[in-house]
Amino acid sequence: MAQNYRITLLPGDGIGPEIMAIAVQVLKRIGEKFDFTFTFTEALIGGSAIDATGDPFPAETLEACKTSDSILLAAIGGYKWDSLPRHQRPETGLLALRSSLNLFANLRPATILPQLIDASTLKREVVEGVDIMVVRELTGGLYFGEPRGIFTTESGEKRGVNTMTYTESEINRIGKVAFETAMKRRKKLCSVDKSNVLEVSQLWRDKITEMSADYPEVELSHLYVDNAAMQLVRSPRQFDTIVTSNLFGDILSDAAAMLTGSIGMLPSASLSHPGQPGVYEPVHGSAPDIAGQDKANPLAQILSAAMMLRYDLNQAAAADAIEAAVIAVLDQGYRTGDIVSAGFEVVGCKAMGDALLKALG
């Protein structure tokens, strides 16, 4: 009997449902080709979950996620929900998903494709050949540290508080993912911190340095986050794998993404321990300004589905086939608005999806 995979789909908000629809078509087609099937369960998260239930991460969604083999997420958020109290914001739903599934390791690849080099805002000679993997810690640090809140001081003044914390075990588990990721790549790991100012970063640096004894083949370096931001735009090719904390990784992964020309091209994987389901999602947001207009680029969503096949479902050949189809449609000249450059015509989301299905055969 053909292998069947239970996948929870979280289309979310904005352009989410449009790009998810394309990803589902692509997955079905790839299943036919490689002889496996999917049972898809759709669940609510973010703004659409708030509208339907009042909660950005309903209990049924968590249940669906926990009982599936893997989770494919599109995007959450939009202007409509921006002024709601924090516990009812779409972002809170995403953070709850990450923490309740223990998705501590976020892999964000930023690879420049030769086909899209002119879509980058940086010079060709700077970005040519860029191939970076950002390993971002995702369930700790400033995003989750306690105490947090807006308090009132004795003098009656308000005071906002967040706390950046990392325990040794949190650093060790993300460090392990990072060293192992580097081992499968060019064996260069750069750890990014702010240890010239922050104690939490000092511990981070000490622990990562200690761990490097177990990975003698990996060339380890350390950068302060401000310098890392500068180096990323100055000479990005110096980087292979980057490991960093939650907030720094949030910022640096957007910068790394933009080197490639469009954030609309980049997938990501959020992983827990082996055997637990991961969440696969594009790095970009829900783009409410173009939602429902058939303008979105579905490729980051498709490439996220490929990462899901590779990491969670152990179907590397199927993942390779999807990645090859993405390259093929770019070679054929298909461009959505975000990646268009002189000499190309703009196609919509659906037309890009049709081209992909055709490329898959």
Q: Which stretch binds ligand IPM (CB under 6 A): 35-43, 46-54, 89-97, 180-188?
A: 89-97
DSSP letters spanning 34-64 = HTEEEEEEE---THHHHHHHS-SS-HHHHHH
Q: Which stretch binds ligand IPM (CB under 6 A): 34-42, 90-98, 179-187, 204-212?
A: 90-98
Q: Which stretch binds Mg ion (CB under 5 A): 67-75, 170-178, 184-192, 247-255?
A: 247-255
Q: How far is CA 29 from CA 10, 25, 26, 206, 357, in A?
A: 20, 6, 5, 48, 7
Q: Which of 55, 240, 250, 312 is catalytic?
A: 250
- Dist CA 292 CA 206 (whole Å): 49
Minimum distance of ligand IPM from residue 37's CB (angstroms): 30
Give kind and range of the element (H or E) at residue 260.
none
Check: CB of residue 264 under 8 Å from CB of residue 271: no
DSSP letters spanning 89-147 = SHHHHHHHHHHHTT--EEEEEEE--GGGGGGSSS-HHHHTT-EEEEEEE-SSGGGT-SS
Q: Which stretch binds ligand IPM (CB under 6 A): 2-10, 88-96, 257-265, 342-350?
A: 88-96
Residue 110's binding partner out of ligand IPM, Mg ion, none, with CB under 5 to 8 Å set by partner kind: none
Total interface residues for ligand IPM by CB under 6 A: 4
- Dist CA 58 CA 249 (whole Å): 27
Q: Which of 143, 166, 215, 334 is catalytic?
A: 143
Could you confirm whether 334 is annotated as catalytic?
no
- Dist CA 91 CA 114 (whole Å): 34
Minimum distance of ligand IPM from residue 206's CB (angstroms): 26
Helix (H, G, I), strand (E, B) or coil at 301: helix
| Residue from 137, 170, 193, 250 in contact with Mg ion (CB under 5 A) | 250
Give yes or no for residue 281 binding Mg ion (CB under 5 A): no
Minimum distance of ligand IPM from residue 125's CB (angstroms): 29
Contacts of residue 282, defined as CB under 8 A and 6 or more positions apart, other chains included, come to: 19, 74, 75, 264, 266, 267, 268, 300, 301, 303, 304
Minimum distance of ligand IPM from residue 138's CB (angstroms): 7
The contact pattern for ligand IPM, residues 234-253, with x = CB under 6 A and - = no contact, is: ----------------x---
Q: Of 193 and 250, which CB lies nearer to ligand IPM in the complex structure? A: 250
Q: Of 31 and 109, which CB lies nearer to Mg ion in the complex structure? A: 109
Residue 94's binding partner out of Mg ion, ligand IPM, none, with CB under 5 to 8 Å set by partner kind: ligand IPM
Q: Of 254 and 354, which CB lies nearer to ligand IPM in the complex structure? A: 254
Could you confirm whether 250 is annotated as catalytic?
yes
Minimum distance of ligand IPM from residue 95's CB (angstroms): 6
Q: Of 27 and 76, which CB lies nearer to ligand IPM in the complex structure? A: 76
| CA atoms within a 13 Å half-sphere pointing along the CA-CB vector of 164 | 18
Please list every residue from 319 through 338 that binds ligand IPM, using CB under 6 A.
Answer: none
| Residue from 27, 43, 50, 94 in contact with ligand IPM (CB under 6 A) | 94
CA-wise closest residue to 264 among 239, 242, 290, 240 = 290
Place of tokens 């659409």: 48
CB atoms within 10 A of CB 49: 23
- Dist CA 163 CA 86 (whole Å): 17
Which sequence positions are flagged as catalytic? Answer: 143, 194, 226, 250, 254
The residues that touch Mg ion, with contacts defined as CB under 5 A, are: 250
Residues within the interface to ligand IPM (CB under 6 A): 91, 94-95, 250
